[in-house]
């Protein structure tokens, strides 16, 4: 039996608890939140769990093996450090930490203690992303040209982070998972419309050493909800429309071959336009799969794909994006 | 009767000729192209027009009042200069010129000669853009927050210009028309996948003095054709989907009001989500309306909305985008 | 406090229990199902409720005020009769009964006993249908020309009823609610592909005395899920796409006016094509609203809009459809 | 050289002339229309063609080999008879004739004279229908369960025929081409809203001897344009959305297998839900291909797939539909 304690029972926390509770061999023994209202809800839904407003009742508890931290990012470092210091595995909401230095210190601490860190990069456990990963790994798309993501909708404005830290972790974690090559530089542009010094619209370009570019369109003020990623490869091109109920992934047998010639007027461009194919995508709840996987990684002592290092790589991109944003799009090496 | 000569009878030229020919009081008297094959097509379709491979037969002809120049951008300056010098009005394919200096010289020349320049910013004459202009001008959207445009599809790779000069003039001319405020700075990122030194994917961010930002996603390598513009205003938000056969324009009664408070945790954000409304949009052929308008501007001595200055403003943004692109996203003031 | 007993804890039952449990002043005191597995699930989820395999523990219980019957249609009559006979209000899954005679007997019994019957016509409580009702009642659409509904998808094949009894109650109950005029005749065509004597595809046409026609396309074997209703009025036309996440209702300012003239060649037809408008639609859970309404009808002694008579009208149409289907589309008066 | 004469230069006629004129070895020598305005347009567009208001100048002309008849259906028989009697091949607009008897007489006449009849079933020459035909013939869909077509939009109200004769020929000719088995009975329901005795909404069900059913939803009063056909097979299911610009054909690897068992509660239904596949579809203009094919059939003395018998089969279904419609859905054997 793996005993788990939860810190943070706001919007997302209940989903974590519900899914953890449904896993055989896992017991949610304690739930912590600062807000009385949240504790009330937790107590009603999980009468057998200990309820507390003091996180030390979780991080220092003798009967707890792992801690799930679902709190604002600014608190992740301290809470995770306390949990790890007390010998507990941690599952941390994304983004992992508020800066790379904190992420590195947590990774170092977990390593030293022989504990697991998993960051809640939920999308990695969706059928759609697994299918994309499979197609990229099997070289069905060929070498990659670009990764172009749009994630826009109306709200919710976050109180403590800008639109980059709120929305980009989803897409950056998918890109980080799907594409082996790591970025070398980032630029970001954007705007804060409300004088909060927190951009509510942002555009990120990510450069790689190779012939690959990535771009992210992030917007809290769009009247329509768009969650679309285009991945262009030498052999095939893929569109992931996460708003579609069916056919989330479409693979296009389309391509361009440019044969450079002596003069531009002799340039030979060949276009290929063939069938489209929408592979069946697994619909199982990603969060449940992710939590089962976390438990399994603890039991079998496996390093999670969404480990601290994955979390760190995302934070590094977020940090660089912020730096570039402040400098009006200056190129930031990473 | 207005006698018109045409230079350039490739892909777009025939549409210009067909529409000019259908206007009462206009006569296409001569057509020029360097390619024998194009001249053959022109001669068959317009047996009464003079056919020539030498553009001077048009620019210097005694019986021609106006010249339409539908050739690669690198030739626009010389051809337009010759036509204007010989006292002819000019209709020039977009982008107006290959650089701002050429544009300024043509504007100066036309001014001096009392002649009209119109740049083929066709979209300004579509029902959709006229409706957008009307909504912005009447303040139905309120103050503008952002203008976010995506124009991506597969091909056609241009031989002589990059994706910015090929696709962005459409969207920049619409933005320039719809938004009175003029940009102050630009950044652009992108990539050339084929070693031609001509980017085939590019992202442009345009800054204004006010609380407004614009962004353009341009891509010749997308498996799907997307032509979508989001315009966010204080009161309403608008989506222009130019691929839709019906309901090209959707206006959303949605909005965000952020009331800053002492602490971020007390921040008050109000979201409004009401009806959507798709105004009927005129379907008349934009090119025909544009050419009738050009003829009318000559006859009534009116300055066209798509005059040389409009052309220049677009070229200035294209030039700045190129500079930024070369400098990996460096901010370029304009 | 209103004490409720539940009979039937299969697929839909748990939703009924969950929503009833969340209503203030309502207590689910007992749950009945014949299947041991269902009782196990019920017991785990609602440890304070009595669990029983014998429906008489519900229908004859001294502490139960109302019974919700969520069982196969063939059992509705007997269970509802027992409950009503014992002085309990009933909430019955749709379709109300297996035939009109049973429905009439239950209505008569409830009347005599002064008890409420509500049939689970859930769609009546959706924001979309409430909006449609509002538009029809306020004469915004003008006089109605047609009601055309398509409800097709893959599965689930029902064991005991054909596709008409499975899918049509949804649409017939909406039509019955929205349109005051009642049908006078019905024809139905269809096919059973699997030798079960239960059609899996069916098409129903409903005639009215007035200038109105209704049609229903029902199919368990469609690769795509379509839930679309078109309502054509003299003044406006409405499309209800229940699969859309946003803009479920679109109202088109389109119309046809035919002015008969002496000869058909002089016929004057005027087409009107104006704006489209998508009113905001309430997203509250319909089932919850329906159950709160049921409770409220009991408390205030109001006749529900989805009462036994509404249930009877639907069953009458289903019965007529079956008769027509057997007779290869023969017109059945109702 | 094949000399062709045209009778009827209204809405569709110009398309026929334009395409015929573009075929090598074909010459449009004469165009006939009763309306002066049409003749004016024809004369301007085709200055070398003879223009006449008297159809006998076409049907009896010594220099004409084939006649294209693009007039109202009520005139087809007389015009085609005259043309065939004078030894001319005929291309006749759909529907072929106003009744089956006329169709049979024309077929008999053409046979006797050794002449070709082609009916303008344009859809048979689209890339989409060719792809469907290919998939059905190659048994990729398996045995067919159903063919379900919707063709609805706003207008145009025809003066001389009801919605069935106007819209159904498109779909019936596709069904007739794609499905080898021929119908045995038809029912139709519908309504005339304007007292013209011409239904403007109609629903047709077509029965076959086998386990197959077809249905057609036809409506001149829909606010949205829908042109969608579902074809359900044992192995795969196909959706043809003719309004889609891309992906007109989608093939779903979905299916249902019902294994009857002793009792309905033991019924075993297996659902299969796999990938979707959108084969590339040829975009060449169907009318051009059809006319080239007509010319080729004449030259090589081949029987067209859209010959008089195909035309007759469609007219037979239209006639039966009318009979059923008048009798409120009575089953009409064919």
> What residues of D are in contact with residue C140 (Cβ under 8 Å)?
none
Q: What are the CB-based long-range contacts (under 8 Å, 24+) for A83-86? A: A83/A58, A83/A59, A84/A109, A84/A110, A84/A113, A84/A115, A84/A117, A85/A59, A85/A109, A85/A113, A86/A59, A86/A60
What confidence score (pLDDT) does residue D266 get?
55
What confidence score (pLDDT) does residue B262 get?
55
D110 CB-near residues (< 8 Å, 6+ apart): D84, D90, D116, D117, D308
Q: Which residue has the tokens 């769990």?
A: A49
**How confident is chain B (334 residues) per 10-residue block, as mean pLDDT?**
96 95 94 95 89 97 97 97 98 98 98 98 98 97 97 87 97 98 98 91 97 97 96 96 94 84 61 92 95 98 98 98 96 96
Nearest one of A270, A249, A266 to A258, comparing CA atoms: A270
Q: Annotate C67-77 with b (16+ C-beta within 10 A) or e (fewer).
A: bbbbbebebbb
What confidence score (pLDDT) does residue A231 get?
98
Distance between CA atoms of C51 and C37, rounded to whole angstroms? Answer: 12
Average pLDDT for chain C: 94
Is D189 within 8 Å of C201 when comparing Cβ atoms? no
Closest CA in chain B for residue C276: B278
Is B237 within 8 Å of A252 when comparing Cβ atoms? no
Q: HSE on the CB side for B91, CA within 13 Å? A: 27
- Looking at residues D194-210, what average pLDDT do you find? 94
Distance in Å, alpha carbon of D253 to nearest chain A alpha carbon? 9
Confidence of residue A47 (pLDDT cuts 50, 70, 90): confident
Helix (H, G, I), strand (E, B) or coil at D256: strand
CB atoms closer than 10 angstroms to residue D87: 11
Is the predicted pLDDT of residue A262 greater than 60, yes or no?
Answer: no
Is D276 within 8 Å of A278 when comparing Cβ atoms? yes
Is A230 within 8 Å of B222 when comparing Cβ atoms? yes
Distance between CA atoms of A172 and A162, rounded to whole angstroms? Answer: 15
> What is the biggest distance separating any 2 CA atoms in chain D, rounded to whole angstroms?
77
Q: How far from the centroid of its chain's Cα atoms is residue B156's Cα?
A: 17
Confidence of residue C44 (pLDDT cuts 50, 70, 90): confident
Nearest one of C224, A269, A16 to D229, comparing CA atoms: C224
Q: Which residue in C46, C246, C278, C283 has the most chain A C-beta atoms within 10 A of its own C-beta, making it the best mutation to test that interface?
A: C246
Closest CA in chain B for residue C274: B280
Neighbours of chain C (3+ CB pairs under 8 A): A, B, D
Higher pLDDT, B246 or D233: D233
Is the predicted pLDDT of residue D10 greater than 80, yes or no?
Answer: yes
When the candidates are 3.30.565.10, 3.40.50.720, 3.10.290.10, 3.40.50.300, the CATH number that belongs to B2-115 is 3.40.50.720
What confidence score (pLDDT) does residue A157 get?
82
Could you report the per-residue pLDDT of C155-201, keeping only the tens digit for each? Answer: 778 888 999 999 999 999 999 999 999 999 999 999 999 888 899 99
Please answer whether residues B123 and B173 qualify as being in contact, where contact means their C-beta atoms are separated by less than 8 angstroms: yes
> What residues of C are in contact with residue A243 (Cβ under 8 Å)?
245
Q: How far is CA A82 from CA A70, A79, A308, in A?
A: 15, 5, 16
Q: ipTM score of the complex?
A: 0.94
Is B221 within 8 Å of A237 when comparing Cβ atoms? yes
- Looking at residues A22-43, what average pLDDT do you find? 94
Is the predicted pLDDT of residue D243 greater than 70, yes or no?
Answer: yes
Neighbours of chain B (3+ CB pairs under 8 A): A, C, D
Is the predicted pLDDT of residue C264 greater than 80, yes or no?
Answer: no
Q: How far is CA D325 from CA D175, D190, D202, D213, in A?
A: 20, 7, 8, 18
Closest CA in chain B for residue A254: B223
> What residues of C are in contact with residue A278 (Cβ under 8 Å)?
none
Closest CA in chain C for residue B254: C280
Q: What is the pTM of this model?
A: 0.94
Is A232 within 8 Å of B254 when comparing Cβ atoms? no
> What residues of C are in contact with residue A246 (Cβ under 8 Å)?
224-225
What confidence score (pLDDT) does residue D95 get?
98
- Looking at residues D135-143, what average pLDDT do you find? 96
Could you report the per-residue pLDDT of A99-157, keeping only the tens digit for each? Answer: 999 999 999 999 999 999 999 999 999 999 999 999 999 999 999 999 999 999 997 78
Is the predicted pLDDT of residue C261 greater than 60, yes or no?
Answer: no
Is the predicted pLDDT of residue D263 greater than 90, yes or no?
Answer: no
Average pLDDT for chain A: 94
A38 CB-near residues (< 8 Å, 6+ apart): A9, A10, A13
What confidence score (pLDDT) does residue A155 get?
75
Q: Which helix (H) or strand (E) holds A250?
A: strand A249-259
Is B232 within 8 Å of A221 when comparing Cβ atoms? yes
Is the predicted pLDDT of residue D305 greater than 60, yes or no?
Answer: yes
Strands (E), B33-177: 50-52, 66-69, 89-92, 117-119, 144-154
What confidence score (pLDDT) does residue C38 get?
94
- Looking at residues A249-258, what average pLDDT do you find? 90
What confidence score (pLDDT) does residue D257 get?
78
Distance between CA atoms of D183 and D334, rounded to whole angstroms? Answer: 7
Percent over 90 (pLDDT), chain C = 88
Q: Annotate A7-24 with b (16+ C-beta within 10 A) or e (fewer).
A: bbbeeebbebbbbbbebe
Distance between CA atoms of C67 and C86, rounded to whole angstroms? Answer: 11
Closest CA in chain C for residue A247: C224
When the candidates are 3.30.360.10, 3.30.70.1710, 3.90.1150.10, 3.40.50.450, the CATH number that belongs to B124-282+316-333 is 3.30.360.10
Compare CB distances from D223 to C190, C211, C237 and report the shortest one's residue: C237
Q: Where are the domains of chain A?
A: 2-115, 124-283+316-333
Whether domain D124-283+316-333 has CATH 3.30.360.10: the reply is yes
> What residues of B are in contact with residue A156 (Cβ under 8 Å)?
269, 271
- Looking at residues A159-175, what average pLDDT do you find? 96
Please answer whether residues D295 and D4 qualify as being in contact, where contact means their C-beta atoms are separated by less than 8 angstroms: no
Is A246 within 8 Å of D276 when comparing Cβ atoms? yes
Could you report the per-residue pLDDT of A170-228, keeping only the tens digit for each? Answer: 999 999 999 999 999 999 999 999 888 899 999 999 999 999 999 999 999 999 999 99
**Matching fold, domains A2-115 and A124-283+316-333:** no
- Looking at residues D275-284, what average pLDDT do you find? 94
Average pLDDT for chain D: 94
> What residues of B are in contact with residue A326 (Cβ under 8 Å)?
none
């Amino acid at each position: 039996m793996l005993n788990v304690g939860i810190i943070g029972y706001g919007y997302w926390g209940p989903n974590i608890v519900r899914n953890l509770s449904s896993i055989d061999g896992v017991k949610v023994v304690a739930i912590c939140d600062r807000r009385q209202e949240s504790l009330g809800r937790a107590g009603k839904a999980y009468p057998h769990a200990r309820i507390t407003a003091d996180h030390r009742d979780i991080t220092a508890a003798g009967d707890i093996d792992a801690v799930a931290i679902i709190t604002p990012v600014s608190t992740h470092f301290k809470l995770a450090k306390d949990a790890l210091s007390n010998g507990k595995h941690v599952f941390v909401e994304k983004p992992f930490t508020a800066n790379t230095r904190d992420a590195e210190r947590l990774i170092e601490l977990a390593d030293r203690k022989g504990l697991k860190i998993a960051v809640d990069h939920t999308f990695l456990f969706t059928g759609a992303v697994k299918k994309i990963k499979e197609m990229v790994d099997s070289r069905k798309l060929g070498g990659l040209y670009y990764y172009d993501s749009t994630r826009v909708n109306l709200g919710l404005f976050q109180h403590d982070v800008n639109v980059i830290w709120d929305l980009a972790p989803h897409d950056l974690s998918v890109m980080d998972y799907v594409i082996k090559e790591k970025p070398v530089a980032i630029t970001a542009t954007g705007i804060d419309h409300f004088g909060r010094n927190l951009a509510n619209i942002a555009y990120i370009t990510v450069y790689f050493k190779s012939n690959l570019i990535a771009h992210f369109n992030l917007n809290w003020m769009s009247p329509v909800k768009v969650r679309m990623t285009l991945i262009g490869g030498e052999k095939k091109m893929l569109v992931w429309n996460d708003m579609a109920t069916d056919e989330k992934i479409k693979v296009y047998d389309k391509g361009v071959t440019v044969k450079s010639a002596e003069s531009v007027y002799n340039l030979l461009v060949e276009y290929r336009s063939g069938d489209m194919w929408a592979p069946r995508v697994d619909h199982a709840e990603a969060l449940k799969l992710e939590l089962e996987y976390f438990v399994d990684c603890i039991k079998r002592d496996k390093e999670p794909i969404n480990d601290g290092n994955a979390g760190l790589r995302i934070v590094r991109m977020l940090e660089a994006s912020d730096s570039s944003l402040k400098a009006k799009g200056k190129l930031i090496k990473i």
